[in-house]
Amino acid sequence: MRLTYTADLWWKNAVVYCLDVETYKDGNGDGIGDFRGLTQQIDHLDRLGVTCIWLMPFFPSPSRDDGYDISDFYSVDPRLGTLGDFVEFMRTARDRGMRVIADLVVNHTSDEHPWFKEARSSRDSPKRDWYVWQDEPGPVDPKAIVFPDKEDSLWELDKKTGQYYYHSFYKFQPDLNTANPQVRDEIARILGFWMELGLSGFRVDAVPFLIEGIGGDPHEFLADLRAFMNRRDGSSILLGEVNLPYPDLMRFFGDAGNGDEVTMCFDFIAMQRFHLSMARQNPEALAEALRDRPEPPDDSQWAMFVRNHDELTLDKLTEAQKHEVFDAFGPDKNMQLYDRGLRRRLPPMLGGDMRRLKLAYSVLFSLPGTPVLFYGEEIGLGENLKAEGRMAVRVPMQWSAKGGFSPDPKTTVPSPTGKYGPRNVNVEDQRRDPDSLLRWVMLLVERYRESPELAWGAYEILDAGDVAVLAHRADAEGGTVVAVHNFADREAKVDLVLEKLDGCEKLVDLLVDGTLDLPADGRVKFTLEPYGTRWFRASIPDAAPEETSAKSG
C-alpha cells in the first residue's frame, strides 16, 4: 500500500480530535477559551498524534445552545477571538501538519440571525422563503421532538406575521429552507469562505434533519455541496452525523461508485453496541453490528467513536438493552437525558477503572474506520453533573494540577471535581507518567498510524474460543493485523485459527514487547488478563519491522 496513495485519501486513517474552543484554553485571561489559547496548546495535539482537528461552532451566537444557534456564519465569536486569531491558529496547525474541519450547522440559524429577522419582518420579505412557514402548525409526532424536556412542538407562532415557523430543535433555532436554491447558494458561499481560510472540510450537523419533513431532496443537496467542495479542493471532506439504521444511513454516502455525498459517516450503531457489550462484559453485540455493517464506497470511511459532545445516545438499542446500559453506567436519573442517553464521560461511567479505559480505547483504534476523540478523552477527563443537560460533558480541559484552563478563578465553565478534578487528572502529570492513560493513547495512535490494514483492509470477526473475547483481523495487500480484546473481569483463554498466512511464522505484538509462534496449522493459544488487549502483526521470517510494515502498507 503506497504512502502516496493513502495520503491522497487522508481521512481513511486520520486521527480526528474534536474540541470546543470555548472550553479548551483561555489565552487572554478572561475566563473563556479562545483561539489564542488553543494555538498555544497545539503542540499537545501534535505530540498526541492528531492529524485532524474538528472545531465545534466558533461563530457569533447568542449561545442559547452552546454556539449551535448561529447569528453570523462569516465571522468568529468575539469572545473567542478575531478572524486574525483564527488565521494564526490555522497557520500553526498547518505548520504541524494537521488539517482542520469545523461544524457546518446549516439546518437552522439563531432567531437573532439577520436572515430570520428580515424573514419575520413581513410575509412579503425577500428572505421569507429562506425559512419554513405555515398558517397552521403541522401534525407532530412526539417522538420527533429532539428536546422533549424543553419543547412540545416543532412549530412556533410568529405573532407579528401570524404564521408558524418550523424548528427541528429549539424554538429559537428556526430551520432554514434548504430546498430554496438561494439558501443552497448561500450555504455554498459559506463553505467556500472558510475553505479559503484553510479548512479541509466540515462535520455536517444532524444530516437527516436537513430537509426532513419540509420537502426537497437532501441527497441532491449533499451531492451539490460535495461537488462544489471538490471543485475548490479535491481533498476536502464532509463528515456526517447520520444516526440511522445501516440501510438508511448508506444512502447518505451517495450512489456513485466512490461516494458523491458525505465522505465519512459516524457509526452510531457500533458505538451503542460497544457500550452494551461493555455493560454485559460480552462483545457479541458489537461483533454482530460489525458483521452486519455494509462496506462504504471505496473512497469513503466510517468514523468510529466511543464518546462525543452530545448525550451518549442509546436510541438504536431496544428498551431492555438501553436499561442494561443505564443500570451499568448511569443508574441515577440525573445521569440520564431525554430517556435515550447518558450525559456522562467514559471514565466515571467505568468507575475510573484504568484497565477498562485502556480496553475501550484499544477497541476504538483497532476497529475498521477512522477514530474520533472528544477532547480530554486522552487524559480521562470527567464530567460535572451539576451543569445542565449536555453541558455536563463540555467541561474545561485540565492542563495542570491547578487546572490550567484559565488564570481567571471566576470562570463560569463548571469543572469536574473530586476524583476527576485537575489535581488528579491533568496533561502535565500524565505526560511524565509512563503508565498514564495519555501515554497509552499516544501508543495506540502511533501503532494505528503504523498499521494501515486497520483502516484500509478487509476485516473479519474471528472465533476466539471464549465468549468474553472480541477478535478480528484486518488484511490489506499481503499484510495482516489481528486485534484481541477481553471484555470480562476474568482471565480469558484465547484459541484462534489464523488461515491464509502462508510464509508467516510469528505474530509480533504491537503494544508490548514479545512474539507468539504461528504454527503451520495457524492455531494460536494464549491467555488474556482481565480486560486485556493484544494487537499482533503477522510476520515473515527474518523481516525487519520496517520491511514488514512496508509489505503491508
Is 63:114 a contact under the CB 8 Å cutoff? no
Spatial CB neighbours of 380, under 8 Å, sequence gap ≥ 6: 346, 347, 352, 357, 420, 425, 437
**Nearest residue to 9 (alpha-carbon basis) of 294, 296, 292:** 296
CA 512, CA 242: separation in Å to the nearest integer?
Answer: 37
Is 306:361 a contact under the CB 8 Å cutoff? yes
Instruction: Exactly one of 26, 175, 205, 378 is catalytic; name it.
Output: 205
Report the chain's terminal Cα–Cα distance, integer Å.
Answer: 4
Cα 331 to Cα 335, 349, 394, distances in angstroms? 7, 10, 21
Active site residue 205: yes
Angle between helices 181-196 and 218-232 (to 10 degrees): 30
Active site residue 547: no
Classify each residue of 386-421 as buried b or exposed e, where b means 16 or more C-beta atoms within 10 Å of its C-beta.
ebebbbbbbbbbbbeeebbbbeeeebebbbbeeebb
Report angle CA 172, 175, 177 to the nearest 5 degrees: 150
Instruction: Exactly one of 224, 241, 383, 475 is catalytic; name it.
Output: 241
Spatial CB neighbours of 56, under 8 Å, sequence gap ≥ 6: 18, 19, 20, 21, 66, 67, 103, 309
- Per the listing, cell 482537528 goes with 53
| 3-state helix/strand/coil string of 238-259 | EEECCCCCHHHHHHHHCCCCCC
C-alpha grid cell, residue 66: 452552546
Q: Dihedral of the CA atoms 252, 256, 260, 265 (nearest 10)?
A: 40
What number of residues does the chain have? 553
SS3 call for 66 = coil
CA 396, CA 406: separation in Å to the nearest integer?
Answer: 9
DSSP state of 537: E
Q: Which helix (H) or strand (E) holds 524?
A: strand 523-528
DSSP state of 175: B
C-alpha grid cell, residue 462: 474471528
- Per the listing, cell 424554538 goes with 171
CA 516, CA 505: separation in Å to the nearest integer?
Answer: 9
CA 398, CA 420: separation in Å to the nearest integer?
Answer: 10
Report angle CA 419, 422, 427 to the nearest 5 degrees: 115
Active site residues: 205, 241
